C-alpha cells in the first residue's frame, strides 16, 4: 500500500515481494550471498547498472523491506540499515566528512556521540563546535567556512531539550549545510525532521522501533544523493544489519503507532503526577506546560514521547538510593522497551563526560531518566513513589 498516506497502513502493508510459496508474512532471507542468473547479470550488478542483491553485507530482502518502510514513514527517498544506532550515527557523518571539515552540533547529544566528536574525529582532523539549544541566536556565528554539517538530537538525550527544526532547516539551507537529525526519541510516528528541512535522519532502531528490548539495529534515511555516499561507505566498512534483526524490526514497525500512543499517554500522566512532589526539584516532559519549549514541542511533535526526567533534591546519593529501591522498574542503560526503565545518566550513559560538560547539558547529579513502558500507569507510579520515599 505505497499509495496510502496513512502511517499505520504503510507500516503494516509495505513488505518485500511475495515469493512463489505465497507467504502472507515476509520470510527470513538467512543467506550470505545471492546467485546470479548469468555472467552478464553479475557484471551488471557489480557495475551498478542493475539493481539487485549480491551479498548481504551490501543488501538483503529483509533489510530492504525494513528500510522501504522506514523511508515511507519518515518521508525519505532512500536509506541504509545498520548493525546499531551508533553505527548509523557514525556513518551518517563519516561518509560525508573529510579531513579539515567542521561539524556544528547541539551540545545536548548522547554520550557516545560526544566521544566520536571529541575523541575519534580529531584523529582524522575533523573538528566541531557545540551550540546551546537555549541560545539559537548564537548558532549562526558558530558556522565556519569549513562547516559541512549540522548534527542535532531533538528531543535530546537525556535532558529532553527541543530544537526548532523549521528554523534549523532554514539555517542549513542558507549556508548550504547538511542537516542531520537523530530522531531516536521521537520516532517517525511523532516527528518527521525531513518535513522541516533535514537532509538525513538517523535512528537507533534498538529503541522504540524494536520496542521490546530484543535486537540491536540502526538506520540512516534521507535524500538519495547523500544515501548513495552513505551506502558506499557502509558497503566497504561493513556495519550492516543482520537479516534476522531487520525482519524483527520490520515487523515491529507494524505496531509502532499503537505502542507510541500508549507510551506517550503513560508518560504524560506520570509527569503530571510527579510534578510538585516535595522530594523532586523539577520534572521535565515536552508536553508539560512547564517545559520551556512546550509550544515548540506541540508544533513539531504529534505527542510528547515516552521519556520523562526528574531531578531528585537528594542529589547523587539520592539518585543511587532511588534506583536501588525500585521493585518493578528495570535498572538498565537501555530505553524504548515495553518495560519501564530508570537510568541515572550522570553515573552511566554520560559518565565519560566531565562534570562541567554534564552540567552544561542539564545532567545534574540527581537526574533520573525514565523510559515509560506499557505497564499499567498505577503500577509504574507506585514503584517510583515508594522508591522516592526511601530516598
Q: What is the mean pLDDT of the chain?
A: 95
The reported pTM is 0.94
For the domain 7-253, what is the CATH code? 3.40.640.10
pLDDT of residue 224: 98
What residue ranges do the domains of the chain occupy? 7-253, 256-389
Q: What is the pLDDT of residues 13-26, one digit of tens each?
A: 999 999 998 999 99
The answer, yes or no, to whether residue 72 has pLDDT greater than 90, is: yes
The answer, yes or no, to whether residue 283 has pLDDT greater than 70, is: yes
pLDDT of residue 213: 95
pLDDT of residue 159: 87
Lowest average pLDDT, out of 82-91, 133-142, 222-231, 375-384, goes to: 133-142
pLDDT of residue 4: 80
Residue 350 binned pLDDT confidence (cut-offs 50, 70, 90): low
The answer, yes or no, to whether residue 82 has pLDDT greater than 60, is: yes
Please check whether residue 376 is in contact with residue 171, taking contact to mean a CB–CB distance below 8 angstroms. Answer: no
Architecture category of domain 256-389 in CATH: Alpha-Beta Complex (3.90)
pLDDT of residue 344: 87
For residues 236-262, average pLDDT:
98
Q: What is the pLDDT of residues 42-64, one digit of tens each?
A: 999 999 999 999 999 999 999 99
Residue 94 sits at φ, ψ, to 5 deg, of -60, -30
Report the side by side order of strands in the sheet with 127-131.
78-82, 218-222, 200-204, 178-182, 147-153, 102-106, 127-131
Lowest average pLDDT, out of 189-193, 227-231, 259-263, 315-319, goes to: 315-319
The answer, yes or no, to whether residue 193 has pLDDT greater than 70, is: yes
Task: Determine the Cα–Cα distance for residues 28 and 46; give it in Å rounded to an integer.
Answer: 24
Task: Determine the Cα–Cα distance for residues 264 and 327; give it in Å rounded to an integer.
Answer: 23
Q: What is the pLDDT of residues 122-157, one digit of tens each?
A: 999 999 999 998 899 999 999 999 999 999 999 998
pLDDT of residue 358: 77
The answer, yes or no, to whether residue 10 has pLDDT greater than 70, is: yes
Residue 372 binned pLDDT confidence (cut-offs 50, 70, 90): very high
Question: Grid coordinates in use for 275?
Answer: 510534578
Amino acid at each position: 500500500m505505497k499509495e496510502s498516506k496513512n502511517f499505520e497502513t504503510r507500516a503494516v502493508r509495505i513488505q518485500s515481494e511475495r515469493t512463489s510459496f505465497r507467504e502472507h508474512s515476509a520470510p527470513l532471507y538467512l543467506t550470505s550471498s545471492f546467485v546470479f542468473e548469468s555472467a552478464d547479470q553479475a557484471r551488471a550488478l557489480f557495475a551498478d547498472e542493475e539493481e539487485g542483491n549480491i551479498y548481504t553485507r551490501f543488501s538483503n530482502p529483509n533489510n530492504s523491506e525494513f528500510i522501504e518502510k522506514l523511508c515511507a514513514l519518515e518521508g525519505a527517498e532512500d536509506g541504509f540499515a545498520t548493525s546499531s544506532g551508533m553505527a548509523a550515527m557514525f556513518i551518517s557523518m563519516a561518509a560525508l566528512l573529510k579531513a579539515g571539515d567542521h561539524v556544528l552540533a547541539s551540545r545536548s547529544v548522547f554520550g557516545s556521540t560526544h566521544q566520536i566528536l571529541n575523541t575519534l574525529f580529531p584523529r582524522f582532523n575533523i573538528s566541531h563546535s557545540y551550540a546551546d539549544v537555549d541560545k539559537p541566536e548564537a548558532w549562526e556565528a558558530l558556522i565556519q567556512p569549513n562547516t559541512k554539517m549540522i548534527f542535532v538530537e531533538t528531543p535530546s538525550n537525556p535532558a529532553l531539550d527541543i530544537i526548532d527544526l523549521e528554523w534549523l532547516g532554514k539555517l542549513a539551507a542558507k549556508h548550504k549545510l547538511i542537516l542531520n537529525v537523530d530522531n531516536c526519541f521521537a520516532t517517525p510516528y511523532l516527528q518527521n525532521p525531513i518535513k522541516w528541512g533535514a537532509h538525513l535522519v538517523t535512528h537507533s532502531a534498538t529503541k522504540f522501533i524494536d520496542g521490546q528490548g530484543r535486537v540491536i539495529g540502526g538506520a540512516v534515511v534521507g535524500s538519495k544523493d547523500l544515501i548513495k555516499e552513505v551506502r558506499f561507505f557502509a558497503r566497504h566498512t561493513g556495519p550492516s544489519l543482520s537479516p534476522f534483526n531487520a525482519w524483527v524490526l520490520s515487523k515491529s514497525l507494524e505496531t509502532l503507532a499503537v505502542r507510541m500512543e500508549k507510551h506517550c499517554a503513560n508518560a504524560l500522566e506520570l509527569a503530571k503526577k510527579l510534578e510538585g512532589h516535595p522530594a523532586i526539584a523539577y520534572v521535565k516532559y515536552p508536553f508539560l506546560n512547564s517545559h520551556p519549549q512546550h509550544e515548540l514541542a506541540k508544533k513539531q511533535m504529534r505527542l510528547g514521547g515516552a521519556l520523562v526526567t526528574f531531578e531528585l533534591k537528594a542529589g547523587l546519593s539520592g539518585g543511587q538510593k532511588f534506583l536501588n529501591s525500585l521493585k518493578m522498574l528495570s535498572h538498565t542503560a537501555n530505553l524504548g522497551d515495553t518495560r519501564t526503565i530508570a537510568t541515572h545518566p550522570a553515573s552511566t550513559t554520560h559518565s565519560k563526560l566531565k562534570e562541567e560538560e554534564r552540567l552544561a547539558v542539564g545532567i545534574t547529579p540527581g537526574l533520573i531518566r525514565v523510559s515509560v513502558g506499557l505497564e499499567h500507569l498505577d503500577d509504574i507510579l507506585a514503584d517510583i513513589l515508594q522508591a522516592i520515599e526511601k530516598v
